[in-house]
Amino acid sequence: MKKGLYPGSFDPLTLGHLDVITRASELVDELHVVVADNPAKKFSFTVNERMQMIEKSVKHLPNIKISYTSDLVVRYAQDNGIKILFRGLRNIADYEMEYMLYQFNRNLNPDVETVVLFPSSRNHFVSSSSIKELVFHHADISLYIPEEIIDEVKLRLPKK
C-alpha cells in the first residue's frame, strides 16, 4: 500500500488546502492529512476543531486518514510507514521555506521523498491568514473555504 502525508496547521482549512489534498489522494492508496504543531504560530482553532473541519470537508474522499502530531512531520512519516510527503507551494516565499524544510527532512530521513504540488490558479494566493483578515473585515469567504465549514469559520474568528 502506497501511503502519503500532507501536513499543515490548517487554521482554518482553505480550498487551496483541499485542492492539494484531493490531488494528493489520487496519487496514493492512503493519504494522512496531519494537523501539525507549529510553535511559531498562534492558532485560532484548537487541534480538535481543525481536525473536525478537515473531516467535514473530505467526506467525499475515501482514502483520507486525519490525525495530529506534536512531533516532527518526518518522524510521523517514519512511524507510520509513509514514504511520500506532499507539500503545497504557492509562491517564492513558500519555496524558500519548503526548500529549507526539505533539506532538514532529507537529512533526518532520506527514505521520505517530498513531492510538491502547486494549487490551482484559482487558489494559489489563498492562505489561512488571509481568510482571518477577510472575516475580520466582514468580507465574503465563500470562494476560499470549503462550504461545509464556512459558518463555523465565520462564527469563531474575530471581527472588526
The catalytically annotated residue of 2, 41, 65, 122 is 41
Q: Are 42 and 14 in contact (CB under 8 A)?
A: no
HSE-up of 4 (CA within 13 Å, CB side)? 23
Tell me which of 9, 44, 57, 128 is the catalytic residue: 128
Q: Decide: 110 and 2 in contact? Cβ < 8 Å.
A: no
**Active site (annotated) includes residue 9:** no
Question: Does the annotation mark 41 as catalytic?
Answer: yes
Please confirm, yes or no, whether 121 is among the known catalytic residues: no
Out of 23, 83, 90, 156, which one is annotated catalytic? 90
The single residue of 17, 32, 50, 87 carrying the catalytic annotation is: 17
128 assigned to active site = yes
Distance separating alpha carbons of residues 81 and 40, to the nearest angstrom: 27
Residues 6+ away with beta carbon under 8 Å from 38: 9
Q: Catalytic residue positions?
A: 17, 41, 90, 128
